[in-house]
Amino acid sequence: MTEKRLIPNTFGIPAHARVYAEYTSLEELRALLQTYKSERLLHIGAGSNLLFTKDFDGVVLHSRICFARALEEDAEGVNIEVGAGIVMDDLIAQVADMGLYGLENLSHIPGEVGASAVQNVGAYGVEAKDVIREVHAVAVESGEECVFSNADCRFGYRDSIFKNEWKGQYIITSVVFHLSKQPQPRLDYGNLRQALAGKEPTPMNIREAVIAIRKQKLPEPAELGSAGSFFKNPIISPEHFQTILQQEQKTEAEIPHFETADGIKIPAAWLIEQCGWKGKRQGGAQVYEKQPLVIVNTGNATAQDIITLAADITESIEKRFQITLHPEVNYI
């Protein structure tokens, strides 16, 4: 536990917590919750989806609960319980090396296991909810340990009940994933199938292909601060999509889109690029030249630079396409 410490975040925006505390067990977490029960609390993972607008006048908690153990196992697959403090990509590397399918498409996304369930992280046609069986958590108010099923978590697109009705009420301590021993490759998103041409779609080969693609498009946070994808991909009605086709005088083949149960998903990156934002700057913040879905800190960005740039992008897309972009990033 430390006083007045810089809060880790992948944007690299300096912000201090009045108290920063880490814990390695349920008992330590309960003790911290009791000690600081009257304080303003913020629980973070790796800080990969946070934009700090100022110092945090309260207590920042961070999990160091790091374990992985196999639970039920049969010929089809295995349930693995994983501590919330484990780096998600480290877990994926380990299970891919074991030949287990399910998480490989999520490779190289910054963040930790606990946050993957809060955010329902996703990439290349896979979301964390697809393989989460249970979420174990501690109630902030009582310290009681709770177990939630996949259905309890009400997962949605980059969303869960932990971001909404239960925000701030529970701290995730571990997640149970169900991983398959049988081949279940998901290759139909982006150019993943093309990247695997000539290779067997093993979990490790898929992981390596995903990492190669992401490195071509996305900056490494250690080199150029960012939160990865800044905006969610919007989902619109089929009628709205037809209106855009007419307005832009394009065919369906000319506008990237994906049919979902809720409507038509259009890549936010395409919308941003169409409005001319690729490479544009606001102070020290810039729309990344290789992937317009990413806003980067070029070295001296303030939180306000990033907020202003994101607001200007949102306004221009609303005006042209009548689509409102929503950030994945949480402003603190």
- Percentage of the chain beyond pLDDT 90 is 81
Q: Mean pLDDT lowest for which of 83-92, 139-148, 191-200, 245-254?
A: 191-200
Which residue segments constitute the domains of the chain, with CATH numbers given?
Answer: 2-63 (3.30.43.10), 68-216 (3.30.465.10), 220-331 (3.90.78.10)
Give the pTM: 0.88
Question: What pLDDT band is residue 191 in, cutting at 50, 70 and 90?
Answer: confident
3-state SS, residue 2: strand
* Distance in angstroms (rounded) separating the CA atoms of residues 250 and 126: 29
The pLDDT tens digits for 81-97 are 999 999 999 999 999 99
- Percentage of the chain beyond pLDDT 70 is 98
Question: If DSSP states are collapsed to H, E and C, what string results for 194-214?
Answer: HHCCCCCCCHHHHHHHHHHHH
* Distance in angstroms (rounded) separating the CA atoms of residues 59 and 48: 18
- Mean pLDDT across the stretch 68-92? 95
Cβ(142)–Cβ(128) below 8 Å: no
Q: Which pLDDT value is given to residue 49? A: 87
Q: Which pLDDT value is given to residue 188? A: 83
Q: Identify the bridge partners of residue 296 per DSSP, sorted by sequence position.
A: 226, 286
* Residue 132 token pair: 């989460």
Q: Which pLDDT value is given to residue 165? A: 94
* Residue 159 token pair: 């969303």
- Mean pLDDT across the stretch 60-74? 95
Q: Which of 108, 296, 95 is nearest to 212 (CA)?
A: 108
The pLDDT tens digits for 262-306 are 899 999 999 999 999 999 999 999 999 999 999 999 989 999 999
Q: Within 13 Å, how many C-alpha atoms sit on residue 164's CB side?
A: 11
- Rg of the chain in Å (alpha carbons): 20
The pLDDT tens digits for 168-186 are 999 999 999 999 999 989 9
Model confidence at 201: pLDDT above 70: yes
The pLDDT tens digits for 141-155 are 999 999 999 999 999
Q: Identify the bridge partners of residue 250 per DSSP, sorted by sequence position.
A: none
Look up residue 101 and give its DSSP letter.
B
* Distance in angstroms (rounded) separating the CA atoms of residues 71 and 177: 10
Q: Which pLDDT value is given to residue 1? A: 53
Parallel, antiparallel, or unpaired: how do β-strands 285-287 and 294-297 relate? antiparallel
Catalytic residues: 158, 229, 328
Cβ(286)–Cβ(292) below 8 Å: no
